[in-house]
Amino acid sequence: MAEDSGGQTSLDAFNNPPRTLHMPSMEQEATTPTNDVVYHDLGKMYPHPPVPVNRDGLVIHRAILHDVTGVGKLLDWLADGEAVIIEMERLMARDVELQAALKQLSTFIENDLGGQIVKVTESRLMLLPSGCKGLRGVEVESTADEPSSDLARGYL
């Protein structure tokens, strides 16, 4: 066995517990700030909320597309007659994956489903099921990101 400069063998160093440093601040109990407002995590309380299906409304999902593996879920929502606003900024840096995702979306939504893909901003698309149409004129609304003279340019 090898001895270190203190005369202990290296095996003894492994058997002894590490030295600690006494700090008075470690002895105090941590206090949690109190708050009079009670917050409920609705995602935990209702992981699968009942969404009423009626002919007078449209469910609009909000999603971030990180890669092409998320396209299937988007297509499921559209097949159920629901709309989706997707943010694709993370995918835009990878051109091959972006083009593959757009091809899958376009083939199903526009060709098979009869829906529509509308460009909302440079990194967001709105996917509309059949029976829904993007209309010209909303680009000049106060809520629009960038006013444009022709919304038709936004269609893929």
Q: What pTM value is reported for the model? A: 0.54
**24-to-20, 36, 139 alpha-carbon distances in Å:** 13, 31, 62
Residue 90 neighbours by CB distance under 10 Å = 14
Does CATH place domain 60-133 in 3.30.365.10?
no
- The residue ranges of every structural domain in the chain are 60-133
Summarised one tens digit per residue, pLDDT across range 52-107 is 666 667 888 898 888 888 888 999 999 888 899 999 888 888 888 888 888 988 88
Rg (CA), the chain: 28
Q: Which residue has the higher pLDDT, 143 or 80?
A: 80
